[in-house]
Amino acid sequence: MDASSAHPVDVVLPCLDEAGALPWVLGRMPAGYRPIVVDNGSRDGSAELARSLGATVVTEERRGFGAACHAGLLAATAPVVCFCDCDASLDPRELPSVADPVLAGAADLVLGRRRPQRLGAWPPHARIANAVLARRLRGRTGARLHDLGPMRAARRADLLALGILDRRSGYPLEAVVRAADARWRIAEVDVRYLPRSGRSKVTGTFRGTVTAVRDMSAVLTRPGRPA
């Protein structure tokens, strides 16, 4: 049995020092969903721990969220690929609600719209930045999205065909922009958003959020692809 039939869905988990969250994240992976942990320079033994917990581990030496995401996409073999943060802020048990519309052929790209479950799960500065970017995205593409959520699903071959170039914080947004330009059917489903394990490298600091906004703003100002 080849990998695509054994695992109908691969889950790309960009990872940078997430040893504290990995047991919870990998322990909640649904049946048929293969976790691919992309180690992006961890110094806390995340790669070794993920491997011991049964995950496929990929090493991406080039730093950057987009670099890790793309390395995982290249390593995936299943027809449908999900992306999910590796910090326990998102529950992998909710992955089927995101992937099912893609598996059923009802949508080409599905994003999880984050619904905070506790105070502090989503810092105000990060939430405001996300809302501003989502509004700009709607103006740029017409896609009726409210969140640029990191939990998402699409078909692997189609994602690769988009030719996403960003390898930093703009990668997730560029994927949506290019998908919208390609007339993909894009949908949102609600997912729970929990306080992450440890400190975020992006939204946990004002500086990290500013850097992410700068990267994503650059994506929004690039010319669109021809229809």
Residue 178 pLDDT > 80: yes
Q: What is the pLDDT of residues 69-84, one digit of tens each?
A: 999 999 999 999 999 9
Task: Compute the distance between CA of residue 157 and CA of residue 124 in angstroms, rounded to an integer.
Answer: 36
Q: Annotate 126-140 with DSSP letters as a single string.
A: HHHHHHHHHHHHHHH
45 vs 33: CA distance, rounded Å: 23
Whether the predicted pLDDT of 226 surpasses 50? no
User: How is residue 221 annotated by DSSP?
Assistant: T
Position 100 pLDDT exceeds 90 = yes
Alpha-carbon distance of 188 to 206, in angstroms, equals 27
pLDDT for the residue 122: 73
Query: What is d(CA 119, CA 93) in angstroms, rounded to the nearest whole number?
Result: 22
**pLDDT tens per residue across span 123-166:** 787 788 888 888 888 888 888 899 988 999 999 999 999 999 99
More confident residue, 179 or 208: 179
Q: How far lies 13's CA from each of 71, 106, 140, in Å?
A: 10, 24, 28
At residue 3, does pLDDT exceed 50?
no
The top-scoring range by mean pLDDT among 43-47, 136-140, 223-227 is 43-47
Residue 81 is classified by DSSP as E
Q: Which residues contact 77 (CB under 8 A, 6 or more apart)?
A: 2, 3, 4, 7, 10, 156
Q: Is pLDDT at 189 greater than 90 in this prediction? A: yes
**Percentage of residues in the chain having pLDDT higher than 70:** 84
Task: Please report the pLDDT score of residue 158 as a whole number.
Answer: 98
Confidence of residue 6 (pLDDT cuts 50, 70, 90): low
Please state, in angstroms and as integers, the Cα–Cα distance from residue 127 to each residue in 65, 193, 206, 208, following that order.
Answer: 19, 12, 12, 13
Q: How confident is the model at residue 28 (pLDDT cuts 50, 70, 90)?
A: very high
